Amino acid sequence: MSFLNTLRQWDQAVACVDQGDVETALRTFLDINEKNSKISFNIGCLQLANNNFEAAEKAFDCSIGKDEHLAVAFFQRGITFLKKENFEEALADFNNSFRELRGNNLIDYKLLGLRYKLYASEVLHNMALAQAHQGEWDKAQESLLKALALKPKFRHVDLALEAILKQKLFDLVEIRQGLLFHPNKHYVAELQEKDYLGKAKVVASVVHKDEFSGFAALQPQAEDVPATPKAPEILRALKGEPHTVLYEFSPETSDELAVLPGNVVFVLQKGDDNWASVIFNERRGLVPYNYLEPLDLSSKQGQNGGNEIPAPPFKEPPIRPVRHSALSDCPDDVYVNEAEWSQELLGCIVKVHFLYTVVIRAMPGIPYEAMLQKISNKFNLPASALSLSYVRSGERVTIGESEMTMVWHCMRSGRLTLWCAQSEDPKVEPPKQQALALYSYEASSPEDLEFSQGDLITILSKVNTDWLEGQCKGKIGIFPASFVQSLHTD
């Protein structure tokens, strides 16, 4: 059987499970000649749901045989052994599953096509249950205490620990029925036939916006054709039913679609699981249907007077700052205004590491006191409360007036890195400027700081006139200055 046939049957079987036809799905899976680890796992899950433990065990054996690092397969086979009351084998599989986590708190299988996160605490929970069935209450308590120390914390672990202290059994943690590995959606899309020639298109016509292609009798020409069609006519011409987005939705999988309040989406299909397949900005994806509200075309026409529906208001971030990589003596990257970069080349770029990192410009050869004064002005702290140091021969050396000449010899390609320390005087504290987020900002790159409207942000430094560096909820990054409002602190 070719790969395309295997992929086609795999996709058909998963679709049958989504429609509730488990028997047809299982029969389709079993008809596949060349079963990979994921297909065997799916067969095992369906057999386990039917309480056919022997067939489920064989399917999970095949899955693990083709991928010996698939922790979720060990987890499912351990559950199968536990239900067969083969507690020793179950305990061994849970140990193998925990080993394949390799010290991580969880494994997210969504990139592999399975919408499931296997948590280490859940594996330890079932491991403790197998130990309890064998009468090893102390080992079961030790496993649960280990699970209790992991994050995130689950309520079922606390309940299991209470039961263990009373030497009572507790409930098993299982994967929800119906969760299966899906084939790669890009491969599935290639299965559909494509029309590479396309349809005929009108390139010239006396009829305004004529889209007809083919042969027809001459039609009477309409007069006074409106320049812009009414909004309801546009919506009716598009495929799907128009809906307004009520709440912000952030996707967790590649099949889901990100939308914001006020967006207008077109619902193509609503499933029984409360998920709707929609089109937005020429992209198709899944959105919770309870996040949507049907759009009343008649009310829209009355409110807008026949004009097009206005786009929802949003705040557009300014042009991003230019990122210039530092040399070996500057391990971090710095952000510099594009317009000022050519001017900075006239002097030395000095990066100063303190509670946070700042960049200043100084003319090479300036004395120590002048350099210290520049840095103290940048941090808004008295110069007497600060001391400077630099790295020489792999060691940190404190800078004095006599050492400053040697410091300038360490400059490379117009760059210099210094470290700043503060005196131990408790009266001297760096000011902490805070700002209030006026809009939500979604990170588009790893160095961005993501926050929601109403969050408090600690300002660390000013990148340029449009961008700031700040800290929010334990994370540090850059963000547009126009998205926040500065709060004056005493």
User: Cα(380)–Cα(128) distance, rounded to whole angstroms?
Assistant: 57
Show the tokens assigned to 312.
């929802």
How many Cα atoms occupy the beta-carbon half-sphere of 197 within 13 Å? 2
Cβ neighbours of residue 172 closer than 8 Å, sequence gap 6 or more: 79, 82, 126, 129
Given CA atoms 44, 45, 50, 51 in this order, what sign does their dihedral have? positive
Residue 85 φ/ψ region, left for φ over 0, alpha for ψ in the -120 to 50 degree band, beta for the rest: left
Instruction: Let me know: does 274 contact 286? Beta carbons within 8 Å.
Output: no
Tell me the pTM. Answer: 0.43
pLDDT value at residue 412: 82
What DSSP character marks residue 308? P
Backbone phi, then psi, for 119, in 5-degree steps?
A: -95, 145
Q: How many helices (H) and strands (E) does the chain have?
A: 15, 19
Per-run averaged pLDDT (10 residues), the chain, 490 residues: 81 91 93 91 94 94 93 95 94 94 91 92 94 94 91 87 91 92 84 65 58 53 48 49 87 85 88 84 86 72 45 54 44 44 59 79 87 86 87 83 84 85 58 84 82 89 83 87 78
CATH class of 231-304: mainly beta
pLDDT value at residue 298: 54
Residue 262 φ/ψ region, left for φ over 0, alpha for ψ in the -120 to 50 degree band, beta for the rest: left
Cβ neighbours of residue 462 closer than 8 Å, sequence gap 6 or more: 468, 469, 481
How many Cα atoms occupy the beta-carbon half-sphere of 75 within 13 Å? 26
Share of the chain residues as helix, strand and coil, in percent rounded to the nearest 5: 35, 20, 45
Given CA atoms 58, 64, 70, 75 in this order, what sign does their dihedral have? positive
pLDDT value at residue 214: 55
In the chain, where does the domain assigned CATH 1.25.40.10 lie? 3-165
In the chain, where does the domain assigned CATH 2.30.30.40 lie? 231-304, 433-487
CATH class of 3-165: mainly alpha
Distances (CA, A) of 217 to 214, 220, 222, 424: 10, 10, 15, 92
User: Cα(195)–Cα(197) distance, rounded to whole angstroms?
Assistant: 6
Instruction: Let me know: does 453 contact 441? Beta carbons within 8 Å.
Output: no
pLDDT value at residue 317: 65
H-helix segments, 262-307: 297-304
- Residue labelled with tokens 């389709």: 28
Backbone phi, then psi, for 66, in 5-degree steps?
A: -95, -15
CATH 2.30.30.40 fits 433-487, yes or no: yes
pLDDT value at residue 428: 45
In the chain, where does the domain assigned CATH 3.10.20.90 lie? 347-422
Q: Which residues on neighbouring strands pair with residue 394, listed in sequence order?
A: none
H-helix segments, 305-357: 338-344
Instruction: Let me know: does 129 contact 170? Beta carbons within 8 Å.
Output: yes
Fold of 347-422: Ubiquitin-like (UB roll) (3.10.20)
- Residue 106 CA to its chain's centroid (Å): 15
Instruction: Let me know: does 49 contact 76? Beta carbons within 8 Å.
Output: no
Distances (CA, A) of 167 to 7, 154, 173: 49, 20, 18
User: Cα(286)–Cα(185) distance, rounded to whole angstroms?
Assistant: 14
Distance between start and end Cα atoms, the chain = 74
